[in-house]
Structure 1
Amino acid sequence: MALDRSLLAAVTELGSALRELVDASVRTTVGADELAVAAAEARRITGRLAAAQRPPTQLPALDDPIAFRRVFSPVTGVGSAIAPPLHIRQEEGGVVALTTLGLAYEGPPGFLHGGMSGLLMDQLLGSAAIAAGLWGMTARLELDYRGPVPLETPLVLRARVEEEAGRKTVVSGSIALAADPDSALVEARGVFVTPRPDKVESYFSAITDAAGRHSPPGRPTDATALDPERNGS
């Protein structure tokens, strides 16, 4: 099915607007009356978008798991209101991503929430496996926190495959300041396992495409994009 460029552009624009709204909502210092007006307006827009919805088992019309395009991924999706600005690309030996994270992802004051580090690393490690021609689902994810990750500061994230053994792939990665890329603030190690065919069928037997046709992913990953524009096109 051909990619609907106009729909992609609209989804991208809405996702961008929603991320701006989320950022503004955690920064604002306006008074209670203005917040109440904003909440009513947000619910009005929610009603418009809820007029037509898909069930959890139906892929969005723009998604293509084989092409690794997931427009509503909570990490790389152009249409997601919660996805950080994470752009993943291949480099020699693995993958790399540059990003700057705002207050929406705050844990300790001024620093990234530790759970967000896990989310980002899981995505990067999976991307490294895909870049190496491998795939699997996360079986284990271990993180060592060497230091707090500051917000509103350029960061560099890296990952590479360390070991391949049958259905198991071991991947390592890190988060560091872009200004000091060799000093990891977070180190990660993940084990990804390719499910057996019977498990694939069990996990994805109910998945359909936007037209309602049975459409389980051929490779049961979260379809991590390796596209600098995050649209996987």
Structure 2
Amino acid sequence: MTDPNAREDPPAEHPDTHPGLVGRAAESEALADAVRRLIVLCTATTAPAEATMAAARGLNAIADALERHVPDPPLPKTLLHDPADGQADFGTRMPFDTVIGRHNPLALPLDLALEPPKAVLTGTFTRPYEGPPGCVHGAVLAASFDLVFAAANVIARLPGPTARLEIVYRRPTALGVPCRFEGEVESQDGRRVRTVGRLVQGDRVTVEATGDFVFLDRAAIARMAERLR
């Protein structure tokens, strides 16, 4: 007979869980979701001055409490070591990414899927990501292409930093309409990698992009990251 008071064991940690999330991943995601909600409200609320200031004071008190738990030096945002299962699980290895990070409230976040040889990003942008009225900010779209291209390069086993990113805005990209970013490696010339892609809303291409990347193996990328820390 099952004991109704028995507590279930928590789910096992993924072997590549970011060290800053061990034992607190669900709580960290809940915190990021709460801050995302605040970001939306900051761009929409017309609360009275007194209520606005009271909220600011309360949030600053919360920030003060959290700030006491920031390590020095800070932990890296991205895991660069070889994954335990041999697969590139971007969501697990980039939990604080600006585009797909579930634990970064700046991220929508977009959902990344690998459909070799393509990488695909999907999501629906909301008001905090607005540029022109009713449209997604061009800089947000550029960041999304940079991420989906990086994933496409990993699929092709050609990772490396961005050297050039060209964005061609064919037509406005509307807020509140599902987006699909696609990226695929087009060619390689020595260490130079060219990756191309597009953004589709419905049946219309709104943006096209081309990126040039410098192929580096994982060890070289890790050394570059260490120099810049």
Is this a same-fold pair by TM over 0.5?
A: yes
Q: Deviations over 1:93-138 (max 9, x none)?
A: 3111210011111111111111111111111111111122220000
Q: Could you say if the C-alpha distance between residues 56 and 84 of structure 1 is closer, same or farther in structure 2, counting changes exceeding 3 Å?
A: farther
**3-state DSSP of counterpart to 1:85:** coil
The CA RMSD measured in Å over matched residues stands at 2.3
Residue of structure 1 aligned with 2:54, choices 25, 37, 41: 37
Which has the larger Rg? 2
Residue 203 of structure 1, CA deviation? 4.7
> TM-score, normalising length from structure 2?
0.80
**What is residue 85 of structure 1 aligned with on the other side?**
109
2:173 is matched with which residue? 149
Instruction: Count matched residues.
Output: 202
- Helix, strand or coil: the match of 1:6? coil
SS of residue in 2 equivalent to 1:144 = strand
Please report the TM-score for the alignment, with normalisation by the length of structure 1.
Answer: 0.78
Aligned position for 1:119: 143
CA distance in 2, matches of 1:163, 1:13: 41
Alignment correspondent of 2:215:
194
Residue type at the aligned position of 1:18: V
8 Å contact from structure 2 (residues 161, 214) kept in 1? yes
Question: Residues 151 and 55 from structure 1, CA distance in 2 versus in 1: closer, same or farther, beyond 3 angstroms?
Answer: farther
Q: Report SS of the residue matched to 2:43.
A: helix
Alignment CA distance shift 1:124-1:30 (3 Å): same
Per-residue deviation, residues 120-165 of structure 1 (Å, max 9, x unmatched): 1111111111122220000000000101111111111111110122
Task: Structure 1 unaligned segments of length 5 or more: list them.
Answer: 208-233
- 1:65 and 2:87 equivalent? no
Aligned mates of 2:44, 2:25 — CA distance in 1: 29
Question: What SS is found at the alignment partner of 1:74?
Answer: coil
Q: Distance in 2 between matches of 1:6 and 1:58?
A: 16
Between the two proteins, what is the percent identity of the paired residues?
A: 29
How far apart are the structure 1 equivalents of 2:222 and 2:104?
Answer: 26
How far off is 1:59 after superposition?
2.1
Distance 1:199 1:12, change over 3 A: closer
* C-alpha separation in 1, matches of 2:221 and 2:96: 25
Using CA pairs below 8 Å that are at least 6 residues apart, which structure has the higher relative contact order? 1
SS at match of 1:95: strand
Unaligned runs of 5+ in 2: 1-13, 84-89
Q: Name the structure 2 match of 1:74.
A: 98
